[in-house]
Structure 1
Amino acid sequence: MLRPLLLALLAGSSAQAFAQPAAESVPLLRDIKEWVVGCDNLRDCHALSAPSGANEEDYSSLTLHIWHKAGPQGYLRLRFDHRGEAVDLSTLQLDGQPLGDALTQDLQAQRDDQGGDPDVQSYGVLDDDAARRWLQRLRNGQRLQVPADTDAHVSLSGLSASLLLMDAVQGRVDNVTALARPGKGAASSVPAHMPVPLLRAFPGAPALTAQEQKNLVAEALKGETAQEDSPPPEASAGALTASHAITVLRYDCAAYNCEYEVVQRARQAPYAQAALQLEPLPLDGAALQGSVGYDPATGTLSYFYKQRGLGDCGAGAAWVFDGKAFQLSEFHIMSRCTGVAYGDWPSLWTTAPAP
């Protein structure tokens, strides 16, 4: 299950972040004090502030994200997200002292064109030099705070170690491009950005007829009975190829997660099963739990596992069928429940569709 996986992944500490930097492998996910760091298969890294406490007083309505792309020219971006009523980030204080216009003037309001949460206001630092000035200042502090909102704060405990870990993953330690420990190494000595894996396209398949749908769903539900205090089992079916389909059986739901059985079958009786070729998740992730669905129009199989009902922590992934197997297209994990939506969870696997 996911929870033991997350506990194992997040056993790291700031001490681990400083040890053997050159040996860091990706994908990577680590908690470092009040921060979470994730680096994907391309060595692109994302760190975000995430209070470690489970008590209500540890909640923060303000999250600081830091993205650093791999490679000599990899861009650096910062973004503050505030949930709730709008606040004036020009009033931000560092350890009780105003940050000042020299930094806050670099904040730019970010538009959300993806239909995101209207109660979240985002402000970014989009210039590399400005972002470096911000980090240089913040690394010497302990806490950012909006004076008018006691919930709007960012702990900087673990920030330096998080930046050093990102540098180590990307081969920047003692380089002029490093965030935590810059040196004299030339930018050109930083390892090049890795090529993005290209997904083979879904070739498409004739849609299931109404009768095929009915028969396949009946086959998936055969022998299933409702469990006490759980909704009755449900099943759906979608086409994979002209001769095969996939059935998704949902059963044994508890709170906001369910168990699933996903099976590849022949479209016609006796509906012989075939091995489901599913590319495994990195870091021994447990796939196809929580909420699972298949989109026959795109050949996409996906899951979303919530650690709590709000859906602000857990894991999720998607695969695309290429006619023979499901290729992993994306994988996200958020280890701490801090109000961050799925789209802003650390990405551990990145791909692109084939041209």
Structure 2
Amino acid sequence: MLRPAFLAMLLAGISPHVLAQPATETVPLLREIKNWVTGCDNLRNCHALSSPSGVDEEDYSSLTLHIFHQAGPEGYLRLRFDHRGEDLDLSTLLLDGQPLGQALTRDLHVELDDEGGDPEMHFYSVIEDAPARRWLQRLRNGQRLQLPGDDNAKVSLSGLSASLLLMDAVQGRVDNVTALARPGKAAASEVPARQPTPVLRKFPTAPALTAQEQAGLAAAAIKALTNTDTEMKPDAEAGALSADQAMMVVRTDCAAYNCEYEISSRERKPPYTETLLSIQPLPLDGAAFEGSVGYDETTGTLSYFYKLRGIGDCGAGGVWVFDGKAFQLREFKMMPRCTGSPYGDWPALWTTLPAP
């Protein structure tokens, strides 16, 4: 069962309507349109990906199409196909039963997985602006992409045009020569500039907690719990925030693949008094710390990952960095549909740069 706060976060900003006026679209934004999910981050960089809604098609497809468009007059445009399964020849792609033709497929480039991920994942990209625009112009008039030889390898194009229009509206491109859905005559220079990327403040390394400090802090945090009517015994972990302050992550209960937590900070010396803890709120109304939560005292990072189902292909995740006074949000991603996409491919809703 979804927690009300988390459900509200997933639903925030999701609407069947697309508004074409840039001023009406605030970011971060996450929206579902037919068989597509579109997210735009705090810099107005947008990412749309094919994601069956379960209404028009089966919930699973081994083929996913991603569209990335960076904000700003010269923001890059990139398309990427992800295929789970055998390494098939994407030059055989069919659009509504007809071959796409070499004029398009010759622009597909094979990408290598440098991170050593799933060996069954294969990536193909269109990395230049003009070819990517030719692809989108062709696909907008179609209904379905299909790979022959794999019945599950298909991309519904229902909702693609509306998703492209949404991205244009968010980035101020409607009726501009750079628009994806509704290009016009306005010059690229009229597109709003991309905002500077926020730079995180550095974590001032703190002395690691001793075993005695950890034991005392854990006992104090568990003793302070107000709700102990759970089936499992609370488990507390502590990590250094500063020479005088420690971070507490107390797991209070678990159900299926998500757990509940109490987050706090305390003085490192007895009686381990609770101190003020400042955490930058999440976009889209935020949510309680649930799912899987952890703190790394070597990097000052607090993170959480919430699964909407056990394999972890949908939900939300965020990371914060402590700057000596407060936790700054480093990244935030969400995926409202469970269609096989790993966390790294979810729409990014918050983007930052590391401390210099």
Q: What TM-score does the superposition give when structure 1 sets the normalisation length?
A: 0.95
- Quote the residue 1:186 is aligned against: 187
1:129 aligns with 2:130: yes
The one-letter code of the counterpart of 2:33 is I
1:26-81, Cα deviation, whole Å (9 max, x unpaired)? 11000011000000000000000000007993311110000000011100000000
The CA distance in 2 between the partners of 1:220 and 1:55, in whole Å, is 49
- Quote the residue 1:83 is aligned against: 84
- Quote the residue 1:280 is aligned against: 281
The CA distance in 2 between the partners of 1:115 and 1:147, in whole Å, is 27
- Quote the residue 2:265 is aligned against: 264
- Quote the residue 2:96 is aligned against: 95
1:169-189, Cα deviation, whole Å (9 max, x unpaired)? 111111110000011110111
1:306-330, Cα deviation, whole Å (9 max, x unpaired)? 0000100000001100000000111
Runs of 4+ in 1 over 4 A off after TM superposition: 223-226
The CA distance in 1 between the partners of 2:132 and 2:216, in whole Å, is 58
The CA distance in 1 between the partners of 2:263 and 2:195, in whole Å, is 33
Offset, 1:353: 1.6
- Quote the residue 1:227 is aligned against: 230
- Quote the residue 2:161 is aligned against: 160
- Quote the residue 2:198 is aligned against: 197
Shift in CA distance, 350/118, structure 1 to aligned 2, threshold 3 Å: same
2:10 to 6, 19, 24: 6
The CA distance in 1 between the partners of 2:127 and 2:229, in whole Å, is 53
1:64 aligns with 2:68: no
Calculate the aligned-residue CA RMSD, in Å: 1.5
CA contact (8 A) 1:71 1:192 kept: yes
Give the unaligned 5+ runs of structure 2. Answer: none
DSSP-derived class of the 2:233 partner: coil
Shift in CA distance, 328/287, structure 1 to aligned 2, threshold 3 Å: farther
- Quote the residue 1:253 is aligned against: 254
The one-letter code of the counterpart of 1:186 is A
1:275-334, Cα deviation, whole Å (9 max, x unpaired)? 210000111020421100001011000000000001000000011000000001110000
The CA distance in 2 between the partners of 1:270 and 1:308, in whole Å, is 40
- Quote the residue 1:115 is aligned against: 116
The CA distance in 2 between the partners of 1:119 and 1:226, in whole Å, is 44
CA contact (8 A) 1:174 1:182 kept: yes
Give the unaligned 5+ runs of structure 1. Answer: none
The CA distance in 2 between the partners of 1:172 and 1:77, in whole Å, is 16
DSSP-derived class of the 2:58 partner: helix
The CA distance in 1 between the partners of 2:230 and 2:262, in whole Å, is 15
CA contact (8 A) 1:39 1:46 kept: yes
Percent identity of equivalent pairs: 70
CA contact (8 A) 2:22 2:171 kept: no
DSSP-derived class of the 1:212 partner: helix
Offset, 1:5: 2.5
The CA distance in 2 between the partners of 1:118 and 1:109, in whole Å, is 14
The CA distance in 2 between the partners of 1:235 and 1:121, in whole Å, is 41
Offset, 1:114: 1.9
1:228-260, Cα deviation, whole Å (9 max, x unpaired)? 3xx432111000000000110012100000000
- Quote the residue 2:172 is aligned against: 171
Question: Matched residue pairs, number?
Answer: 350
CA contact (8 A) 1:226 1:233 kept: no
DSSP-derived class of the 1:333 partner: strand
DSSP-derived class of the 2:175 partner: coil
The one-letter code of the counterpart of 2:66 is H
